[in-house]
């Protein structure tokens, strides 16, 4: 976010939306930490070179650090999981149960000089620690390795074998200003708005054409098509910055709303990765029937709408966990009904899913997720078209009528903890909920 290519995308979106003369279009600036660059200059364990991925917002090692590798208990989500002899050494931590940033911060708080996180599924692991600071401790240089590698090192350590790791990481982290793009229809009832969103930023490792150019172009095409019609209910399209760094743009938008403004948003629809090459057709589990995490009242209606959409299209669909992993998370935290569809990210396709949708079982749903291969050459455009038409169908429904949809009512400031996410502060004291783990 905030790089030249991202800024070009933001400005292009603004121009495209303004050209319709249908929307009030604004840029919403906000500032936060951004990793300008980062590289693993060298990494070895037991004298053997290791191909590790760098987690965004990792601290530099200030040259090569060489120290024993020390296993962390459980998933490394509690300070008690970090042994006393970790100080001055390098932590080996399993992925799972809590966000990457908490693991790195707890390792730093325990005195580790670096951390190695190994995956808990058969795939590569990469992601963000989320912007600093963390109250649990300072981030350390943090790299990811495969499940097989991590389990092999853990087995050696458990048998009493000593392993020495060497790591050289260099990162450049700065505070920058970036922009959300907001477009609200000039016509329609502003007190009963439908909001939709997708994110415009990518990770540094790849151009982000599926993640999330697919969602961005999907809602943009719907926005341009909608400009031919009058609507009864106003529609707001949000193009969020900073999703890959921890849902920063969508969080900033939601937390900038007054209580009165928030209540005017009847529902929010999110579209993140809708052209995955090894796709599934999934709907966010708004009623909690599949995964037990429900959305605010009305989220079940949205799920039911998309279920019926796929039935009409003659295409099977299933539910995906409503865990706040994408930009709908801040809307859930603000008690705004939410939903949407996706074709999947780094989840591994099961044999059952392969029988339903084809593709390759045992591989992740987007084999180019957060990689250089996330380009226009590696999309499933039929899946994209199906989901883009679903976006249009949802806008046609809710921009016309909220009949039968639950009314928004004020709630207390007491929120229910929906998942294992941790709430913390970022630049300017803005709180957010980060669920990248």
Q: Are residues 46 and 159 in the same domain?
A: yes
Token pair of 406 as six digits: 């639950």
Given 150, 172, 194, the domain boundary residue is 172
Token pair of 348 as six digits: 């591994």
Q: Are residues 274 and 147 in the same domain?
A: no
Token pair of 48 as six digits: 């053997």
Phi, psi torsion values for 248, nearest 5 degrees: -70, -45
Token pair of 155 as six digits: 């087995």
Token pair of 410 as six digits: 């004020």
Given 172, 204, 223, the domain boundary residue is 172
Residue 119 lies in a domain: yes
At 205 the pLDDT is: 84
Collapse the DSSP code of 328 into the 3-class scheme (helix H, G, I; strand E, B; otherwise coil) and give the result: coil
Q: Are residues 11 and 77 in the same domain?
A: no
Q: Are residues 313 and 387 in the same domain?
A: yes
Strands (E), 375-425: 422-425
Residue 31 lies in a domain: no
Given 172, 205, 223, the domain boundary residue is 172
- What DSSP string describes 52-110? -EEPBTPPP-SS-EEEEEEEPSTTS-SGGGS-GGGTTSEEEEE--SS-HHHHHHHHHHT
Q: Is 382 a catalytic residue?
A: no
The Cα angle at residue 213 between residues 271 and 398, in degrees rounded to 5: 30
> Bridge partners of 141?
114
At 245 the pLDDT is: 86
The tally of domains found in the chain comes to 2
Residue 29 lies in a domain: no
Distance CA 188, CA 396 (A): 13
Residue 102 lies in a domain: yes
Distance CA 97, CA 421 (A): 9
Q: Are residues 53 and 78 in the same domain?
A: yes
Q: Are residues 89 and 227 in the same domain?
A: no
Supply the range of the domain harboring residue 69. Answer: 37-172
Q: Which of 243, 244, 303, 353 is labelled catalytic?
A: 243
At 36 the pLDDT is: 87
At 437 the pLDDT is: 57
Tens of pLDDT, residue by residue, the chain (437 residues)? 998 999 999 999 999 999 999 999 999 999 999 888 999 999 999 999 999 999 999 999 989 999 999 999 999 999 999 999 999 999 999 999 999 999 999 999 999 999 999 999 887 788 889 899 999 999 999 999 999 999 999 999 999 999 999 999 999 999 999 999 999 999 999 999 999 999 999 988 899 999 999 999 999 999 999 999 999 999 999 999 999 988 999 999 999 999 999 999 999 999 999 999 999 999 999 999 999 999 999 999 999 999 999 999 999 999 999 989 899 999 999 999 999 999 999 899 999 999 999 999 999 999 999 899 999 999 999 999 999 999 999 999 999 999 999 999 887 544 443 332 232 233 333 323 333 55
At 121 the pLDDT is: 87
Collapse the DSSP code of 360 into the 3-class scheme (helix H, G, I; strand E, B; otherwise coil) and give the result: coil
Q: Are residues 137 and 93 in the same domain?
A: yes
Cα torsion angle, 243, 246, 252, 258, sign: positive
Nearest by Cα to 370 from 3, 31, 4, 54: 54
Residue 98: CATH number of its domain:
3.50.30.30
187 CB neighbour count, 10 Å cutoff: 15
Token pair of 405 as six digits: 């949809």
Q: Are residues 267 and 398 in the same domain?
A: yes
CA distances from 395 to 194, 195, 227, 291 (A): 8, 9, 12, 26
Q: Are residues 14 and 52 in the same domain?
A: no
Q: Are residues 135 and 262 in the same domain?
A: no
At 429 the pLDDT is: 32
Residue 364 lies in a domain: yes
Q: Are residues 196 and 335 in the same domain?
A: yes
Spatial contact of 201 and 242, defined as CB atoms under 8 Å apart: yes
**H/E stretch holding 1:** none
Residue 32 lies in a domain: no
At 436 the pLDDT is: 55
Q: Are residues 100 and 226 in the same domain?
A: no
Residue 27 lies in a domain: no
Nearest by Cα to 182 from 245, 247, 252: 252
Spatial contact of 323 and 293, defined as CB atoms under 8 Å apart: yes
Nearest by Cα to 269 from 380, 210, 193: 193
At 127 the pLDDT is: 85
At 425 the pLDDT is: 30
The Cα angle at residue 178 between residues 193 and 417, in degrees rounded to 5: 55
Spatial contact of 355 and 186, defined as CB atoms under 8 Å apart: no
Residue 413: CATH number of its domain:
3.40.630.10
At 416 the pLDDT is: 41
Residue 178 lies in a domain: no
At 329 the pLDDT is: 96
Angle subtended by helix axes 215-226 and 4-18, to nearest 10: 20
């Amino acid at each position: 976010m905030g790089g030249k290519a991202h800024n070009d995308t933001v400005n292009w979106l603004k121009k495209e939306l303004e050209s319709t003369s249908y929307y009030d279009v604004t840029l919403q600036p906000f500032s936060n930490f951004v990793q300008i660059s980062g590289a693993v200059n060298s990494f070895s364990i037991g004298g053997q070179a290791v191909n590790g991925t760098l987690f965004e917002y990792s601290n530099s090692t200030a040259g090569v650090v060489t120290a024993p590798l020390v296993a962390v208990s459980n998933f490394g989500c509690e300070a008690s999981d970090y042994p006393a002899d970790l100080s001055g050494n390098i932590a080996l931590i399993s992925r799972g149960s809590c966000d990457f940033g908490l693991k790195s911060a707890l390792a730093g708080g325990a005195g580790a000089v670096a951390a190695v996180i190994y995956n808990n599924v058969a795939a590569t692991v990469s992601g963000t620690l989320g912007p600093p600071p963390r109250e649990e401790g300072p981030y350390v240089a943090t790299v990811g390795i495969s499940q097989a590698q991590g389990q092999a090192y853990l087995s050696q350590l458990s048998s009493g074998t000593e392993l020495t790791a060497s790591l050289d990481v260099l990162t450049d982290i700065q505070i920058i200003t970036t922009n959300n793009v907001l477009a609200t229809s000039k016509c329609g009832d502003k007190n009963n708005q439908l909001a939709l969103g997708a994110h415009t930023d990518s990770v540094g490792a790849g151009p982000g054409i599926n993640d999330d150019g697919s969602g961005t172009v999907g809602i943009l095409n719907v926005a341009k098509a909608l400009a031919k019609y009058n609507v009864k209910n106003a529609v707001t399209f949000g193009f969020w910055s900073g999703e890959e760094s921890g849902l920063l743009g969508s969080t900033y938008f939601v937390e900038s709303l007054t209580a009165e403004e928030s209540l005017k948003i009847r529902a929010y629809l999110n579209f993140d990765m809708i052209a995955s090459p090894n796709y599934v057709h999934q709907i966010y589990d708004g009623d909690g029937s599949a995964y037990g995490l429900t959305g605010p009242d009305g989220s079940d209606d949205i799920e039911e709408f998309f279920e019926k959409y796929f039935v009409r299209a003659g295409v099977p669909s299933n539910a995906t966990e409503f865990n706040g992993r994408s930009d709908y998370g801040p809307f859930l935290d603000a008690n705004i009904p939410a939903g949407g569809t996706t074709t999947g990210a780094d989840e591994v396709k099961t044999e059952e899913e392969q029988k339903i949708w084809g593709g390759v079982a045992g591989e992740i749903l987007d084999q180019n997720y957060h990689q250089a291969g996330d380009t226009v050459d590696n999309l499933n455009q039929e899946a994209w078209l199906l989901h883009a038409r679903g976006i249009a169908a949802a806008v046609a429904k809710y921009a016309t009528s909220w009949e039968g949809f639950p009314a928004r009512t004020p709630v207390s400031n007491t929120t229910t903890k929906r998942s294992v996410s941790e709430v913390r502060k970022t630049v300017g004291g803005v709180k957010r909920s980060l669920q990248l783990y």
